[in-house]
Structure formats: structure tokens, C-alpha cells
Amino acid sequence: MPSLLDLTSQGDVGTISDESKLASVTLMSPQQLYELWERQNWQSHTIDFTRDRQDWASMDPALRRQLAWNLSSFFIGEERVTTQFSGLVMAYESQSEEAFLTTQQVDEARHAQHFNRFYEQVLGIEGTFEDRLARARGDLNPAFVEMFDGVLVDWGRRLVENPGDLEAKVDFVTLYHMIIEGTLALTGQWFLTDYMERMGILPGWVEGFRLISQDEHRHVAYGTWFLREKAADPALKRRIAERLAELIPLAAAVLVPPGADPNSYAILDYTMEETNTFAFNALHRRLKVIGIDLASLAAAATA
Ligand SMILES: [Fe+2]
Ligand SMILES: [Fe+2]
């Protein structure tokens, strides 16, 4: 039986391509994920941005504008997922789960620190952390704002108000770990890192982003474990599927660059088909582990 322990240096179950293994894959427990966090800990403030500053200064202004939307979506996204996470920490059901969830919250704060430092030292945006967040907000698209300022905040608040509400916890993890991290963030991370490496630019940013991606795989591994446990209850399994059917159209809209045709666009030099296929294949594989079929979900949504 394949073990997720073998996969965590590269990814979580979303990276397994052999579908026959998915239903029986062994998932890491929150205790194992906490211990992995101790081994994979890193520092955002030691990354050297010297080359990045030179690359940014000499970059074609058109590419700088394209990158702004991608980078700002991550900067604001990391700030949002840090500040809206507290309700899930409060909703722990075991000591090991509590330990893991606190590491996830500090990971998200570290990711926001990486971007804040990049915006200050490479983009040269002076002032406070808040000033840089305010500047980055100008680059977002409306679907992103709806997801991160609307749905995420509302569903997080339900957990803060009642941490014992299991349905609220299932909704929150479905949104946060399956959609925001597993579908959107890991897709953006894969394509952006690939692009920077092909172009040979922004090495400090790439170093930080690779470490962020390693953290995100650990987070998504927790979400997959949690939802598989809860999906043993048919009512909760149905609830996860209903939430996904609501969220997938909004997630697809988050991937559209501002002002672009939603039916035909490119992100950097990747086509809409490439980015969407990557995003939804990874979601499909994780849902198979949980016991939910994405294809039948899509059919139900259009019925
Ligand atoms: Fe993050
Ligand atoms: Fe995360």
C-alpha cells in the first residue's frame, strides 16, 4: 500500500497519478504531520533578494504588470488565510490535531512575511506591512475578493462563534484546504515557479515559494485526512459534495486574470486549458481519496 510518508518531500496525494492507488492510500495523521513540520521548519527572513532586485528593475514593464496580479493574489491570500484560520484552531478534536493546526497558522504567517519582505525589498514599496497589502489589493480580480473577503471570512466566523459546529468545520476545511490551497494555491505555485525557473529570474522569490509549496502540501494532507474521516458519515459526505459544487465555479473565476475573457485567457505563457486541467486534476485525485467523484459532482451541478 503506498504511504503518504513517501510522498511528502514532493507533494501530497494530489500528485499521485496512478488512480488505482488513491482509494487505499495511507494518509499521514495530524501527529505525523506535526512531526514533519518540525523537520521541515525554515526561515523567511534569511532569503537573499539581491538578484531579485536587479531582475525586477530590468524587467519588461509588461511582464511586471502580468506578474503583479499573480504575486498580489498570493500576498493577499496568505494574509487572509492567516487571519481567518483561528476558528479552525479552536475547533480541534484531539491534542495532535491542535498541535498540527497551530503549526499551519504560523506557516501562513511566515508565507505572508515572505511576500511582505519581497514587496518591500524587491518592489520597493515603502511604509508599513499594511501599506504594502493595500497596494497589492489594487491588483486583485472580483472573484478573488468574493472568495477571500466574503466566503472565507463568513465561514471562518461561524467556527469562531461555535467551534463545536462540525458542519461549519467541514465547510471551512472544504473551502480552505481543498479549494484555496489544493486547487488554487498549489496550481499557481507550480506554474509560477516553473515560469521563473525557465526564465532564470527572481531566485530568492523562487527559493521561498518552493518552501511555501512544501508547507502547503502538508496543509492539504491534513485537509484530505480530515475530510476522509468525516466523509465516513453519508450526510457529511453529501455536505462536502454540495459545498464543492458551490465553490468550483467561483474557484475557476479566481484563476482569470483581471479584464481577461473568462472563456479564453492565458496566465503568463500558459493557456487556460493547461492551468485549469492541472488545478482540477489535482482536486479530482484528492477527492478520490476522500471518496467523492468530481465528474458526478459536475454532472449534478449542471442537471
Ligand atoms: Fe500559505
Ligand atoms: Fe496553507
Residues 156-207 pLDDT 10s:
999 999 999 999 999 999 999 999 999 999 999 999 999 999 999 999 999 9
Query: Which cell numbers hold the place of 131?
Result: 501599506
Ligand with an atom nearest the CA of residue 209: 1
Q: Which fold has domain 27-302?
A: Ribonucleotide Reductase, subunit A (1.10.620)
Query: What is the residue type of 40?
Result: Q
Q: What is the pLDDT of residue 196?
A: 96
pTM for the structure as a whole: 0.93
Q: 267 pairs with which residues across the strands?
A: 270
C-alpha 49 – ligand 1 centre gap (Å): 20
Helix (H, G, I), strand (E, B), or coil: what is residue 182?
helix
Name residues whose C-beta falls within 8 Å of residue 26's C-beta, 6 or more positions apart in sequence.
1, 2, 3, 4, 5
Ligand with an atom nearest the CA of residue 103: 2
Q: What is the pLDDT of residue 78?
A: 98
Query: What is the residue type of 276?
Result: N
Residue owning grid cell 467551534: 163
Ligand with an atom nearest the CA of residue 88: 2
- DSSP letter for each residue of 47-115: ---HHHHHHHHTS-HHHHHHHHHHHHHHHHHHHHHHHT-HHHHHT-SSHHHHHHHHHHHHHHHHHHHHH
Alpha-carbon dihedral 82, 122, 199, 213, rounded to 10 degrees: -20
Name residues whose C-beta falls within 8 Å of residue 134's C-beta, 6 or more positions apart in sequence.
none
Rounded CA-CA distance 266/201 in Å is 20
Q: What is the pLDDT of residue 23?
A: 72
Name residues whose C-beta falls within 8 Å of residue 263's C-beta, 6 or more positions apart in sequence.
272
Residue owning grid cell 479584464: 259
Q: What is the pLDDT of residue 25?
A: 84
Nearest to 239, CA basis, from 224, 257, 226, 227: 227
Rounded CA-CA distance 61/128 in Å is 25
Rounded CA-CA distance 17/125 in Å is 42
Q: 270 pairs with which residues across the strands?
A: 267
Q: What is the pLDDT of residue 58?
A: 97
Q: What is the pLDDT of residue 8?
A: 44
Rounded CA-CA distance 249/190 in Å is 21
Ligand with an atom nearest the CA of residue 112: 1
C-alpha 215 – ligand 2 centre gap (Å): 7
Nearest to 282, CA basis, from 17, 25, 7, 14: 14
Neighbouring residues of the ion ligand 2, judged by CB less than 5 Å = 181, 216, 219
Q: What is the pLDDT of residue 216?
A: 95
C-alpha 186 – ligand 1 centre gap (Å): 10
Nearest to 133, CA basis, from 189, 80, 66: 80
C-alpha 78 – ligand 2 centre gap (Å): 8
Query: Which cell numbers hold the place of 226?
Result: 480530515
Show the low-confidence residues of the chain (pLDDT under 70). Answer: 1-11, 14-17, 297-303
C-alpha 104 – ligand 2 centre gap (Å): 7
For the chain, what are the domain ranges? 27-302
C-alpha 84 – ligand 2 centre gap (Å): 12
Q: What is the pLDDT of residue 175?
A: 98
C-alpha 206 – ligand 1 centre gap (Å): 14
